[in-house]
């Protein structure tokens, strides 16, 4: 099994992968999907449905270099043409691994790495805020819009 497909198995075990058209579409519509994956030999109908799922969202649609059979064996289901990764970290690692295989995935990999870094920053800031609240440190309230004159 390819290393890139191994990340899909890892995402499945972590509960961060929705496989199949119905589950993938629900994840995209709910705003949970970070990347929508489509098998290389998916039908035209499945391709249109995937494009409909991501319409008016910022979820990237990636056509994989793997067939439905390879994708199905990686995610552990039968006849899977579409999957959605819901964790930004796993999506970024998956796309960077796919980028190593082919440069055509470079833009999507860079986008997901940037989103991953932003998510990490927000998480660190939230943890620091919680620590400050526990220790009694608060942000001082801003005074009214008027400036005070020094006397």
Per CATH, the number for 3-133 is 3.30.1330.30
Q: E strands, the chain, where? A: 17-19, 35-38, 61-63, 82-85
pLDDT on residue 147:
59
pTM metric for this prediction: 0.82
- Per-residue pLDDT for 142 more than 80? no
pLDDT on residue 68:
93
Q: Taking a C-beta distance cutoff of 8 angstroms, is the pair 74, 9 a contact?
A: yes
Where in the chain are the domains? 3-133
- Per-residue pLDDT for 150 more than 70? no
The whole-chain average pLDDT of the chain stands at 89
Bridge partners, residue 18, by sequence: 84
pLDDT higher for 112 or 1?
Answer: 112
Percent of the chain with pLDDT over 70: 90
Q: How, if at all, do strands 35-38 and 82-85 pair?
A: antiparallel
Q: How, if at all, do strands 17-19 and 61-63 pair?
A: unpaired
Condensed to tens digits (0 to 9), the pLDDT of residues 33-71 reads 999 999 999 999 999 999 999 998 999 999 999 999 999
**How far is 45 from 31, CA to CA, in rounded Å?**
22
pLDDT on residue 136:
80
């Amino acid at each position: 099994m390819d290393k890139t497909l191994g990340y899909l198995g890892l995402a499945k075990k972590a509960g961060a992968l929705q496989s199949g058209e119905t589950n993938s579409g629900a994840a995209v519509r709910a705003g949970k999907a970070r990347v929508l994956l489509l098998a290389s030999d998916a039908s035209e109908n499945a391709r249109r449905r995937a494009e409909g799922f991501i319409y008016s969202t910022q979820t990237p649609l990636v056509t994989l270099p793997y067939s439905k059979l390879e994708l199905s064996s990686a995610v552990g289901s039968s006849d899977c043409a579409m999957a959605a990764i819901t964790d930004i970290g796993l999506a970024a690692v998956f796309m960077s691994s796919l980028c190593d295989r082919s440069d055509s995935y470079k833009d999507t990999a860079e986008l997901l790495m940037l989103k991953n870094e932003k998510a990490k920053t927000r998480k660190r800031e939230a943890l620091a805020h919680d620590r400050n609240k526990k220790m009694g440190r608060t942000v001082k309230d801003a005074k009214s819009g008027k400036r005070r004159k020094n006397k």
